[in-house]
Structure 1
Amino acid sequence: MKIERALVGLLNNPVVPAVVAHAPDLVEYIDVIPDRLWYDFEFGEAGGRRFRRVTGAIEELKQCAAGRVLGGHCIGLSLPSAIPLDLAMAEEVALLARELEFQWFSEHLSMFLVAHGSVPNAQAGLGLPVAFDEESFEIIRRKLVILKPMLGCRMLMENTAVFTPVPDSDMSEPQFLNRLYSEADCGTLLDLHNLYVGQQNGVLSSRQYLEEINPACVEEIHIAGGDELAGFYTDSHSGLTPPEVWEWAYEFGPRFENLRAIVFEFHESYFEKLGMQGIVEELERMHQLADRLASRTQSRVA
């Protein structure tokens, strides 16, 4: 799907339909989290069905999505985990991708599932960091080979929010994402707030990261706000986007010629704190950014 100007959108949550109803012209794209649209009875349920959809959630999303572009943004597949791909979940995701006509699909470059004793895929409760080495690359590459034809759309991987240095990595994260792009035909969802998290926690230099990543990789940008917890800055999706994140978007954004969407992430539990007006103003700033990036890209091409 060719995008002439990056679409402006939101990560879906139960509050998003109200935002769309309030400011329909400001929301062009919705990132859909499949994991939140069903209950997963992994160890069986009376009747033998593993997945049961949340009553009314998909129907409400379809109404909200009319005239808008949808993409998928998953957590549960946990592609970097050294365990087999959950084919039953992948098939459920693929079914939803076709039904909702996802134009592209993203996963996280972190582990949410880990092997633990007799449980083959226990939830970690937090995205665990990955060692960027050949073994991790091959784990993800092999799973992408299986997953991409199932989904039938473009695949992206999102950079991680890190809190401490990750030892024993042979590559930096941008180098790893560059290889996924060149060798596995997988783009990058660049979460600028995740870079801010790493910088605030003293783990990385955001500018160095942005200089190192191949601009052609970047096909979607996420922005968000966070807060402090136990001495760490977290990606809690609890606030508006910090000024430095906006600065990086304006400075480095014009390099991203394949950019499809700019997405603001907020958790519904912080809606009262952010307020409808706060979210609307964030969307308006995103439209200004999208217009600026489009004009600079067109000027460079001309």
Structure 2
Amino acid sequence: MAEFDVNILGCGSALPTTRHLATSQIINLRDKLYMIDCGEGTQVQMRRMRIKFSRLNHIFISHLHGDHCFGLPGLLSTLGMLGRNGELVIHGPKEIEDYMRPILAIFCKGLPYEVRFNPVDTYSHALVMEDRSLCVYSIPLKHRIPCCGYLFVEKQKEAHIIREMTDFYQVPIRMLQEIKRGADFITPEGEVVPNARLTRPAIPPKRYAYCSDTAFNPNIIPYIEGVDLLYHEATFAECDAPRAKETFHSTARQAAEIAKQAHVKKLVIGHYSARYEELSILKKEADEIYPGTILGSEGMVISLT
């Protein structure tokens, strides 16, 4: 079972190429799937990567440029043909519902499941979604249209019981759940056994930040400080920095600068411009600022360990 994996389905930018697919990712958190963006080709790539359609319940859209959302109509139709019956929630800028409702009415009549839209304020850092496994927050980005990234924060797991100690103190089975949650144990004689003697701390929760598309924007640093993995767009090389500024995108060097200032543990870059047939220049420029930068690629699976 995947503990916390990021699956990269596509990491190209707006212009289609044979080298990269349009943007989409899937987070697999202990077999619960969360999709980020849904460009063209997303569902085909899910097939290639053997990702189960049935485990997907939430889709997070960063903004309404086609390379981030044109795959939605086909995916929703396919889910209907597969017999899905549980609710699917699409989170994103409020305009996402305006875009999708007419398509659903024409091409997806009679879906066997409900599609619910959750509008996201792209200008604020706020809780977007919460379930038993994680919390998802918006990250305001700087793009030509309303756009936000997403921060996925795993919830703290319960502590691990030290079986030898609970047996020694004859802790009743019915109390183990409370002890996992932090309770001390009081023996029949009135002795207080500290929780730290009965448990080991759980592995610290993981955090993943997704930031695409955006111009260089140091304002996001407080929101992504110290994350286990940052995905940051790197559409251009430094030689095309004027074009990056004009189109509100980032260079690989700028992405690395954000990662360095935020003290993130790992950086992966993507959203490559179609002008680069060879990505080594982006890797080199990022590595000069943040050594060990990962070049994102289709089919890549990154585990947050």
TM-score normalized by the length of structure 2: 0.38
TM-score normalized by the length of structure 1: 0.38
